[in-house]
């Protein structure tokens, strides 16, 4: 392509892309600057690294980092692991496949806060699950299932909400594989597992990576599920950031926010690399 072509492409992209870059860049700049003491809402603004030192020295911050990474990683892995076989199964139409696919994607239409409250109604002390278990004689009395310390409820909601998105992305990738390629591999003696490893997995790797990265970033910074069904003995980074802000400590909140952006960036790169390594290193 000539320089003139590049200039034309740049001119076409600038009205939309330029606005996005300006808005995102402004937010990132203000967050970074505020984490170093600038843009103080109260008091004098001056460069300082004390907010980074203070936040990083707190155990609550390191626990929030580990917890958020735990939620983000397993939400991405479990969502894609459930969506992948469903996408392959729904690749070829069969009676009822359209309706089934629409039903599986239905959680995309439900707001996360609504889903969280519905989940609470099911697992609460006097909720549907406890009443059912007592009714069939499995439990003698109600059990406390809400706000479990291992955050299984949060993971369940994250997977329920994000699996349809992963299914949407992976379905497009799987359906983009030509039937001729799979038929040729079958004619050459490749079984179902060999066709998956050598054809389907490599050709859908980019879709898998995109789904895992987007789900990881969303679950890492989620606030809704954490505050409604999350454990009471641990905070996510989003909760910690809001906690600092509610006390008027905007600089510490900015430190957590910038840290969250860095973890999302590095974690996404590592997750994409891990996905590629696992898929390429699978036994032949």
pTM: 0.85
Please give the Cα distance from 81 to 238 (Å, whole number): 26
Please give the Cα distance from 205 to 27 (Å, whole number): 32
Please give the Cα distance from 252 to 259 (Å, whole number): 11
pLDDT, one tens digit per residue, over 115-170 is 888 888 888 878 888 888 888 888 888 887 788 888 888 999 999 999 999 999 99
**Of 17 and 193, more confident:** 193
Helix or strand run (H / E) with residue 7:
helix 3-13
What the chain holds in terms of domains, given with CATH numbers, is 55-280 (1.10.3720.10)
Please give the Cα distance from 193 to 207 (Å, whole number): 19
105: tokens are 């994607």
Judge whether 213 and 272 are in contact, CB under 8 Å. Answer: yes
pLDDT tier at 281, thresholds 50, 70, 90: low
Residue 133: strand, helix, or coil: helix
First CA to last CA distance, the chain: 40
Average pLDDT, the chain: 86
Tell me the CA distances in angstroms from 147 to 119, 122, 124, 151, one per residue in order. 11, 13, 10, 7
């Amino acid at each position: 392509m000539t320089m003139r072509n590049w200039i034309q492409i740049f001119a076409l992209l600038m009205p939309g892309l330029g606005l996005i870059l300006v808005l995102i860049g402004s937010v990132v700049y203000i967050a970074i600057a505020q984490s170093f003491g600038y843009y103080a809402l109260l008091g004098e603004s001056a460069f300082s690294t004390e907010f980074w030192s203070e936040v990083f020295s707190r155990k609550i911050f390191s626990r929030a980092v580990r917890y958020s990474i735990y939620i983000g990683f397993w939400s991405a892995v479990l969502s894609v692991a459930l969506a992948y076989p469903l996408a392959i199964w729904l690749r070829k139409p069969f009676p009822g496949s359209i309706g089934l696919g629409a039903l599986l994607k239905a959680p995309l239409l439900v707001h996360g806060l609504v889903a969280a409250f519905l989940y609470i109604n099911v697992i609460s002390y006097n909720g549907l699950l406890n009443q059912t278990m007592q009714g069939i004689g499995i439990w003698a009395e109600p059990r406390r299932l809400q706000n479990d310390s291992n955050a299984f409820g949060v993971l369940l909601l994250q997977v329920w909400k994000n699996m349809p998105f992963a299914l949407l992305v992976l379905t497009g990738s799987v359906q983009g594989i030509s039937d001729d390629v799979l038929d040729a591999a079958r004619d050459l003696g490749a079984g179902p597992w060999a066709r998956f490893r050598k054809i389907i997995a490599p050709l859908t790797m980019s879709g898998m990576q995109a789904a895992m990265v987007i789900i990881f970033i969303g679950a890492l910074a989620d606030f809704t599920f954490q505050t409604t069904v999350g454990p009471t003995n641990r905070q996510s980074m989003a909760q910690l950031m809001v906690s600092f802000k509610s006390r008027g400590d905007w600089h510490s909140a900015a430190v957590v926010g910038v840290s969250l952006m860095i973890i999302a960036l590095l974690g996404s790169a590592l997750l994409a690399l891990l996905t590629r390594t696992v898929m390429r290193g699978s036994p032949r």
